[in-house]
Structure 1
């Protein structure tokens, strides 16, 4: 499937969330995080400590829960409700994310990951810090999941009104409009 280009890339640091959620292509059934070793490499590439020998199967499973919960949050940004069990799972992961408040020399404060043992906690802390900073900047709500059920690719909505629904109007948007047209006929 043609994936959105840079036009839909989230600004830094939101790119971490977008990249994590988009490690799976639902339509092609291709998953970058197919093993603990693949996850360990993915996390290291982003400068995050995978901890010790890296991720094990339980760590991979936890990160996959995080990834899909974040996808559901991005769908909520587009107007869909999140299931209570997804909210609870995400809250549980975020509750274990070690964070601290850092103050710079000018007195500005921001949430940053605290020193941790690595692994799921380190990745979740990085994600939580990104979300906190982006929410404060007003950009978090623009990270959305495509409304197409077979896609759900996460993109950054740069439309003026912030009401985009599809990752690509040329692909997913056209398919949805064609289905609607055929349904009316």
Structure 2
């Protein structure tokens, strides 16, 4: 990846937004929407939405060829595979064979190629920058994450109604919440109310 910083602002369909750092760009990508009950969180409605997401830091891969509907479909297939694989790893279950196959397919394409700028101090991606290159880069990061030392640090938010998954990079490995701003604070309020009702 071009930069180590991760995290995005996620919007709640019920209103409001919060900062969520999944700890890996591939997991940030996994949280761009979904199917079924997660369809309300969809942010990649059109091909241009995918292009805009890829162009934002930390990936900062501004595609040099317009994104097609077929590429958007491929991106959503990879997103689903990353989501399913990460949740399986967090739960200690075997990874779904279909997810593994989808991640490997995406990773087989050429990845983004880093290129040093003329100033010798900054970097970008060598042209042409295509969606398949960006997806390959995300898939390869997923493979490194799932097979590397941080695989045991993949967690699902401890809130009963929050499915967000992240890499716990805290030194003690004690991160429980997707975000203290969201689920962490909600849990504190619930605990406070429970104590008050138990001790009127």
Query: TM-score scaled by structure 2?
Result: 0.58
C-alpha separation in 2, matches of 1:77 and 1:21:
14
Unaligned ranges ≥5, structure 1: 102-112, 176-185
Q: Where does 1:30-179 land on structure 2 (aligned, <5 Å)? A: 30-46=41-57, 47-52=60-65, 54-78=66-90, 79-98=92-111, 115=126, 117-128=128-139, 130-131=141-142, 138-146=149-157, 151-158=162-169, 160-161=172-173, 167=178, 168=183
CA 116–84 in structure 1, closer or farther in 2 if over 3 Å, else same: farther
How many equivalent pairs are there? 157
Check 1:72–1:132 CA distance in 2 against 1; reply closer, same or farther (3 A cut): closer
Given the superposition, is the C-alpha separation of residues 147 and 28 from structure 1 closer, same or farther in structure 2, using an over 3 Å criterion?
Answer: farther
**Larger RCO: Structure 1 or Structure 2 (Cα < 8 Å, ≥ 6 residues apart)?**
1
After superposition, the C-alpha distances for 1:69-99 in whole angstroms (9 at most, x for unaligned) are 1111211221233221221121111111437
Distance 1:59 1:145, change over 3 A: farther
Relative to the length of structure 1, the TM-score reads: 0.62
Deviation at 1:41, TM superposition (A): 1.2
Which consecutive residues of structure 2, in runs of 5 or more, have no partner in the other structure? 1-11, 115-123, 191-200
Look up the match of 2:40. Answer: 29
Considering only CA atoms, is the larger Rg found in Structure 1 or Structure 2? 2
Stretch of structure 1 that moved more, 36-45 or 118-127: 118-127
Deviation at 1:128, TM superposition (A): 4.1
Aligned 8 A contact 1:142 1:162 in 2:
no
Q: 1:151 to 1:65 in 2, by over 3 A?
A: farther
What is the alpha-carbon root mean square deviation over aligned residues? Answer: 4.1
Change (3 A) 1:146 1:3: farther
